[in-house]
Chains A and B, each alone.
Chain A
Amino acid sequence: MERHSLYKSKLTALMFILPTLVILIIFLYYPTFQTFKMSLYRVAFLGLSKQFVGLENYRYIFSSPEYRKIFLNTAIFVVLSVVISLVIGLFLAVLANQKIKGKTVFRLLLIWPYALPPAVAGVIFLFLFNEQSGMVNYILKHVANIALPWLSKSYLAMGVVITAFVWKMVGYNVVFYLAALQNIPKDIIEAAKVEGASIFQTFFKVTLPMLSPITLFLVVTNTIAAFFESFTFIDLITKGGPADSTTVIIYSIYRDGFEYFKTGLAAAESVILFICVVILTLIQLRVSRRMVHYEK
């Protein structure tokens, strides 16, 4: 086969990718490699000395009930937030896609939360759900004369962080779903109508399957976001509490690494998280081969 090359020599081509490569090596590949290496050591405070322990860090993590709980919390957080943010995102996108007056305003408002920095969003929710002076309890007290211990009851606290994360993520999903909805040819929806399909039948049998490629993309990106970007919300709103009930793995890595200075342990957790994300993404891609239809 003839080789198509834009450049005369390999060296020229290499020179072009070199800057990117250098940055990737320094800031991505080398630290990743160091993390893998570090996970096999027990590291003393500030890394003053380290001792090779093999897979001891991993054995400790998998046998400790404390970490098992963290994994469970992570699973709950990721699954619930991804499902909820996708469903709400799609629902709002469908509404925003209607021919209504002022739709540009609605679309803008829907996308707004995504434009907020996570730290700002986190603080907003911290204020909203503050048990003594928060807006939510203020309203509940006036309307139903109750006040809920939002941040000191474990499942409520989890609910609050998930809500915060979903609220932030929905804007992103709306943008993508809206774009995808507008890409569905009008003819096809009309054909379904003429064939006698009701609005719901049209949505579930035609629209939804045609959104499958974007849904796959959003499942992958939302999952990754739920693993990593949840940090800000948990750090700001609950600090992993009460009683570690909202500690997810990314927060635990931060705590072990930078508060308890168990660098080796944190590195091992990072490796586990890394592997989890890779496996999950692979599963999602595999499943998608059956479920997702790509337009040619």
Chain B
Amino acid sequence: MAEAMITLKNVNKSFGKNKVLEKINFSIRKGTFTVILGASGSGKTTLLRLIAGLDFPTGGKIFINGKDVTQEEASKRNISMVFQSYALFPHMNVRENIVFGLKIRKVKKEEIEKKLSTVTKMLKIDNLLGRKPSELSGGQRQRVALARAIISERLICLMDEPLSNLDAKLRSSMRKELKSLQEKLNLTVIYVTHDQIEAMSMADEIILINNGKIEQHADPKTIYENPKTIYVAEFIGTPPMNIFNINLIKNSNIKLPENAEKAGVRPESISFERREIKIGDGEIVFCEYHGSETIYSVKVNETLINVKSIEGKHTIGEKISLYCNREQLLFFNREGRKL
């Protein structure tokens, strides 16, 4: 296992009486792309700010590269950061923005020029050097912010929802670019987002946060296929995993684990054709046609179940039976933990 680049031990953070983060423990390996995923208000940005040194924890310790940096200022932590708003200096042109950190550290002029030309060529902004941020498009600002973050070759790069201000098309191309940039430079990236698609497509590891606590810390495949809790199961996937009461399938002659209260199945695992387990008979109440697939909402008794199917021929009002295979069913106990 590669060495731990960032380690958090029992980190707490409260603002007044309001506990934002509780007992956060994790370790991030060097050169990995870690996504901190969570709904708004879950504490994910606060967590990033603690790692950056822009806020300080009320308890616990933070280590970067083995060194305790819990009380160290942001300027001493040797990290770089891309802000959601980009936070470009409006009075400086693109060149001055990018080299700001290098100049502060009194790097030699020739070296600055060399790095500047490499980075700006890599990000295709070498033709914008003389412009002010106000004269750039959103995508260009994003690239300048990235250039500023990577030029000083600090090993850790923190990103706070960097793609959320871009339009959908640009966002998807930037996702690929960010990921390949991270691999090329062997950066340790911590990336905060509420967008599960960003998380699934870019992350080596996902830390899913809910209400200031870590729900699950795992790679995207595990998070998707093996969610630890109902919260995780329902957070990931479009549409998310169907969770229903165990009673719905109690009579279908299969052995259910003890203490099972709820069962979950992914929409794409449900079939209209006969499989090992019958979930129930229902009526299609809604369909959403996506081209290559259609999402049907099927009402089984009082439960609404989403089905993702490549068949587009069914219509609203149709009576239909739902099936799935045994290994595609997940079971959860009363507390919402997976069994």
- Residues on A close to B: CB < 8 A? 185, 187-188, 190-198, 201, 205-206, 209-210, 212, 293, 295-296
Number of interface residues of B (CB under 8 A): 27
B7-15, B84-92, B316-324 - interface stretch: B84-92
CB-defined contacts of A201 to chain B, threshold 8 Å: 104
Other than the given A193-B73, A193-B75, A196-B152, 20 more pairs (CB < 8 A) read A187-B83, A187-B84, A187-B87, A188-B88, A188-B89, A191-B81, A192-B100, A193-B54, A194-B52, A195-B75, A195-B101, A195-B104, A195-B152, A196-B104, A197-B100, A205-B100, A210-B90, A212-B91, A295-B90, A295-B134
Question: Is the contact region of chain A dominated by helix, strand, or loop, or is it mixed?
Answer: helix
For the complex formed, measure the closest distance between the CB of A294 and the CB atoms of chain B, giving whole angstroms: 9
Give the complex CA separation of A196 and B74 in angstroms. Answer: 7
- A190 touching B75, Cβ below 8 Å: no
Q: Which applies to chain B's interface (DSSP): helix, strand, loop or mixed? A: loop
* CB contact under 8 A between A190 and B74, given known A185-B85, A195-B104: yes
Expressed in whole angstroms, the Cα–Cα distance for A210 and B83 within the complex equals: 19
Taking a contact as CB atoms closer than 8 A, the residue among B79, B91, B105 that contacts A194 in the complex is: B79
In the complex, the chain B residue whose C-beta lies closest to that of A184 is: B90
B210 located at the interface, meaning its Cβ lies under 8 Å from any Cβ of chain A in the complex: no
Q: How far is the CA of A269 from the CA of B92 in the complex (A)?
A: 44
Provide 14 A-B residue pairs closer than 8 Å at the C-beta atoms, listed in order of the A residue. Answer: A188-B88, A190-B74, A191-B87, A191-B88, A191-B89, A192-B89, A193-B54, A194-B52, A194-B80, A198-B75, A201-B104, A205-B104, A210-B91, A293-B90
B54 touches A196 (CB 8 A): no
Cα A190 to Cα B79 with chains together (Å): 12
Residue of B53, B87, B92 most packed against chain A (CB within 10 A): B87
- Please provide the 8 A-B residue pairs with the shortest distance between their CB atoms, ordered closest to farther: A195-B101, A187-B87, A293-B91, A191-B87, A296-B134, A209-B91, A193-B74, A194-B81
For the A-B complex, the count of residue pairs with Cβ-Cβ distances under 8 Å equals 72
CB neighbours of A209 from chain B (8 A): 89, 91-92
Question: Is the Cβ of A190 less than 8 Å from the Cβ of B104?
Answer: no
Does residue B148 face the partner (Cβ distance < 8 Å to A)?
yes
Give chain B residues whose Cβ lies under 8 Å from the Cβ of A191: 81, 83, 87-89, 148
B99, closest chain A residue (CB) = A195
User: Chain B: which residue is nearest A210 at the CB level?
Assistant: B91
Contact A190 B54 (CB under 8 A): yes
| Chain B residue at minimum C-beta to C-beta distance from A292 | B91
Q: Which A residues are in CB contact (< 8 Å) with B81?
A: 190-191, 194
Shortest CB–CB separation between residue A182 and chain B, in angstroms? Answer: 16
Closest to B74 in A: A193
Choose from A187, A196, A205, A212 the contact partner of B75 (Cβ within 8 Å): A196
Chain B residue, CB-CB nearest to A194: B81
Give min CB distance, B75 to chain A, whole Å.
Answer: 5
How many angstroms between the C-alpha atoms of A205 and B52 in the bound complex?
21
A190-B134 in contact (CB<8A): no
Closest residue on chain B to residue A201 by CB atoms: B104
Assembly CA distance A196 to B72 (angstroms): 12
Residues on B with beta carbons closer than 8 Å to the beta carbon of A210: 89-91
In Å, the complex CA distance between A282 and B237 comes to: 63
Bound CA span A206–B73, Å = 18
Residues in A whose Cβ lies below 8 Å from that of B84: 187
The answer to whether A194 and B134 touch across the interface, beta carbons within 8 angstroms, is no
**Residues of the A chain whose Cβ atoms lie less than 8 Å from the Cβ of B53:** 193-194
Supposing A195-B104, A197-B75 touch, asked if A185 and B87 sit within 8 A by C-beta, the answer is: yes
CB of B100 to closest CB in A, whole Å:
5
Separation in Å of the B265 CB from the closest CB of chain A? 43
Give the residues in chain B near A196, CB-CB below 8 Å: 75-76, 78, 101, 104-105, 152
User: Which single member of A198, A206, A212 contacts B89 (CB below 8 Å)?
Assistant: A206
Most chain-B CB neighbours within 10 Å: which of A192, A193, A195, A206?
A195
Q: How far is A210 from B80 in the complex, measured between Cα atoms in Å?
A: 22
Report Cα–Cα, A68/B238, bound state, in Å.
Answer: 82
Contact A195 B90 (CB under 8 A): no
Q: Which residues of B contact A212 (CB under 8 A)?
A: 91
User: Within the complex, what minimum Cβ distance (angstroms) separates A199 from chain B?
Assistant: 9
CB distance from B86 to the nearest CB of A (A): 8
Q: Give bound CA distance, A206 to B80, whole Å.
A: 18
Contact partners of B54 in chain A: CB under 8 A: 190, 193-194
Question: Are the C-beta atoms of A194 and B89 separated by less than 8 Å?
Answer: no
List residues 240-254 of chain B with CB under 8 A from any CB of chain A: none
A288–B148 Cα gap in the complex (Å)? Answer: 28
What CA separation (Å) do A191 and B83 show in the bound complex? Answer: 8
Bound together, the chains give a CA A194 to CA B100 distance in angstroms of: 11
Q: Which of B36-93 contact A (CB under 8 A)?
A: 52-54, 73-76, 78-81, 83-85, 87-92
Residue of B nearest to A197 (CB): B104
* Whole-angstrom distance between the Cβ of A192 and the nearest chain B Cβ: 7
Which residues of A are found within 8 Å of B75, using beta-carbon distances? 193-198
